[in-house]
Structure 1
Amino acid sequence: MNSTIHGSIAGASLAILSTTCAAQAVSLYGELDTGLAYVNNVNGHAQYRATSGLIDGSYWGLQGTEELGGGAKAVFRLERGFSVTSGEGFNDHPAYVGLQSDAFGTLTLGHQYDLVHDYFAPFALTGGTGGTAFAHPFDNDNANNTYLASNSVKYASPSFGGFSLGGMYAFSNEAGAFANNRAYSIGANYQGGALSAGAAWLHVNGRGNTSGGAYDPVVLPGSTGEVFNANVGTQNTYGVGASYTIGDFVLAAAWSRSTYSDVVNADAGDAAPSVGFSNYEVNGVYQLTPAISFAGMYTYTKASTAHWHEGAVQMTYALSKRTDTYVEAVYQHASSGAPAVINTNDPSSSGNQLLIGAGIRHHF
């Protein structure tokens, strides 16, 4: 009798465990990206360096879902960036929890990408194959997701005939100053056959003014060629992009406009000039074979007193489904005394900077 009871208990326990596992799914994933790079001018000197993340950056993550019934799920995502070369950790990846419904969309709360990342960035090469070094000057439009929104609530709709949309609000968390370092963002996307298109807008008040608000200070160029950390009274970023697939070739174009007003040097406390950037990009990706792909882009960025030309090419070769190697070159030319700064590098002492790099990535 005891063996029967024990068998029943064991069977019930196994059934409960099986049901729990079936209802909940959790996965560990991530990427390691490292390589070598040559930069012709960093503060007046050539630089040879080991790199961590010329394309995507290295990170690990946990994500999961729990079935709640009726087409609804609880979802979570927890990621952490780090440097393969130094082991340093970075707070540059999302962490959130929320609810997802097949009929009503997804609502999440936490440290998240804004709608520029979700709806505009995929049409700029930095938001896809090109990655980190292909960002527009100073990543002024956040197409390379240099910064994420803290204290944010985000909604993404399901697709309606190829159309989807979303919205985000990030709280300032400042007592008595509801709008100081808060942000909101909206975006929309269309996917139909070979054509895709997207648009997004991000607005920030009092960026960097508080330590616990939506965003940290942003890196901007000064009027005499320096680069500094800035608190910003008002930031607006708009972006529109589209792509068209022709066989193994994807052609895309992207336009964005970012303005920063009431600027203050975050370190010195001095007022600085307002600045605006207009970015015009055309890019293409060609899948030559299942293992070999080529990508290239040209971007013209115009500010009120300066402009930048940036061109880049990249080739990737897949060694397996999880591991690939790449080589790339990025060249940037700046005018009117503005600094040339390829993303993730220190400024050049002249108006030109060239990066040539190669690396290996592994996904797990």
Structure 2
Amino acid sequence: MPAEKINNSNQAVAHSFAFVACVTCAVSTAHAQSSVNLYGEIDAGLAYFSNIGGHASYQATSGLVDGSFWGLQGTEDLGNGNKAIFRLESGFSTTTGESLDDHPHYVGLANDSFGTLTLGHQYDLIHDYFAPFTLTGGAGGTAFAHPFDNDNANNTYLASNSVKYVSPTLSGFSAAALYAFSNDAGQFANNRLYNFAANYQNGPFTAGAAYLHANGRGNTAGGAFEPVLLPGANRDVFNASVAKQNTYATGASYVIGDLTLAAAWSRSTFSGVTDADSGAVEPSAGFSNYEVSGVYQLMPSLVLAAMYTYTKGSSAHWHQGGVQADYVFSKRADVYLEAVYQSASSGAPAIINSADPSSSRNQLLIGTGLRAHF
């Protein structure tokens, strides 16, 4: 081969190696400044319900504590303390394989000094700032929600078309605001939501408060919320559109060694109610929830939890109590056993969250399940 061709060939090879080296360096740098994590949970078990439509029911369950889901969460360093973030989760039923739209997906920007701004399908601020003081928003999960999940502490519905801002924490204080658009041309306030919250933490003491206001809930198919009067209600019990919803919620917790005690109060009102099918005017509804709970780390591998809630409705009331034991095999697997009992006043349905209504004033759930985390 002529010397000139050999030299050209060597130069081409050298350029190729240089290009590969630059790409490798760029990928390594990008990898060092960004990350994407795959995670999730599968929850499956068995449950006994004392009364569903007049009969005892034995069921295979999915998500009796937490809904089963998988997710991707990522961050990329943009420099100067700025980061691009995203979260993409998808829920599913372990027992049927059905996909569920009960988890968030959003994209946003974060800065340690200025806070975090996200856009997408997101948990509202009742979930973020109030639910942690309830057992349904903590160790207990789904079945421990307040009747009909009337305050959405169990995040039965997420806020669509939403923009959320969360402040940095300063001297123990943080705050947040959320707005969910109606996306309805000419009806800016029809099926929209605005939401404010704050939190304070000082050593073992934590407190939080949140306010949620929704207009025209369920009046449109593509707005902030779906058309149902109460978030967790069976549609055979309640199926309505609501002109206005207001929820006020506050809670506090205190840690004493291995014991965490918490108290929570919420008030949800629903006015301008009409039947979603016929358009007939329905009575307004209001619910006040009073909860006390405790979580005790008995052993490194065993957690015990208990709660009691009194809910006062517009013309009815409910008592609900529950206990739970959770045994951890490893960082990725645990097994739980729980019982929830609900008693309603005369004429009101007993309906533990995740169940269909009882034909009587009382309903009992005893359930067990296995969870795997990844």
SS of equivalent residue, structure 1 residue 12: helix
* Alignment partners' CA distance in 1, 2:275 and 2:300: 48
Q: How does 1:320-335 map to 2 (within 5 A)?
A: 320-335=330-345
Q: Is the 8 A contact 1:40 1:46 kept in 2?
A: yes
User: What amino acid does structure 1 have at the position aligned with 2:54?
Assistant: G
The equivalent residue for 2:328 is 318
Query: Greater CA deviation, 259-268 or 194-203?
Result: 259-268
2:5 match:
none
What pairs with 1:1-364 in structure 2 (closer than 5 Å)? 1-2=10-11, 3-220=13-230, 227-364=237-374
Q: d(CA) in 2 for partners of 1:126 and 1:107?
A: 27
1:219·1:227 contact (CA, 8 Å) conserved in 2?
A: no
CA distance in 2, matches of 1:14, 1:305: 68
CA contact (8 A) 2:270 2:285 kept: yes
Consecutive aligned runs of 4 or more in structure 1 exceeding 4 Å deviation: none
- Secondary structure of the equivalent of 2:330? coil
For the residues of structure 2 that align with 1:128 and 1:230, how far apart are their CA atoms?
29
In structure 2, the residue corresponding to 1:227 is in which secondary structure? coil
> What is the rounded CA distance, in whole Å, between the counterparts of 1:117 and 1:200 in structure 2?
9
CA–CA separation in structure 2 for the residues paired with 1:266 and 1:48: 32
Deviation at 1:277, TM superposition (A): 0.2
CA deviation map 1:317-340 (0-9, x unaligned): 001001000000000000021000
**TM-aligned CA distance change 1:179 to 1:219, over 3 Å:** closer
Q: Map Cα deviations across residues 186-228 of structure 1 (whole Å, 9 max, x no partner).
A: 000011100000000000000000000000022449xxx9612
Which structure has the greater CA radius of gyration? Answer: 2
Deviations 1:49-106 (A, max 9, x none): 0000011110011110110001110000011110000000111111110100000000
In 2, Cα distance between the equivalents of 1:313 and 1:298? 9
How far apart, in 2, do the equivalents of 1:195 and 1:240 lie?
A: 14
Cα deviation for residue 19 of structure 1 reads 1.1
The runs of 5 or more residues in structure 1 that have no matched partner are none
Supply the distance in 1 between the matched residues of 2:236 and 2:313 (Cα, whole angstroms). 15
Aligned counterpart, 2:4: none
SS in 1 for 2:96: coil
CA contact (8 A) 2:119 2:163 kept: yes
Look up the equivalent residue of 1:99 and give its one-letter code: L
Partner deviation per Cα, 1:141-184 (whole Å, 9 max, x = no partner): 01000011101000000000010000000000001101000000
Percent identity, aligned pairs only, is: 67
For 1:125, what is the secondary structure of its paired residue?
coil
Q: Which amino acid aligns with 1:336?
A: S
CA contact (8 A) 1:139 1:146 kept: yes
Give the total of aligned pairs: 361
CA shift at 1:39, angstroms? 0.0
C-alpha separation in 1, matches of 2:285 and 2:113: 42
Mapped partners of 1:342, 1:137: distance in 2: 7
The CA distance in 1 between the partners of 2:367 and 2:195, in whole Å, is 34
- CA offset at residue 270 of structure 1? 1.9
TM superposition shift of 1:229: 1.6
Q: Secondary structure of the equivalent of 1:84?
A: coil
Describe the SS at the equivalent of 2:338: strand
> TM-score w.r.t. structure 2 length?
0.95
Q: TM-score, normalised by structure 1?
A: 0.97
Task: List per-residue Cα deviations over 1:338-362 (Å, max 9, x = no partner).
Answer: 0000001100000100000000001
Q: Which moved more, 1:87-96 or 1:20-29?
A: 20-29
Gaps of 5+ in 2: 1-9
Contact kept in structure 1, 2:149 and 2:230, CA below 8 Å: no
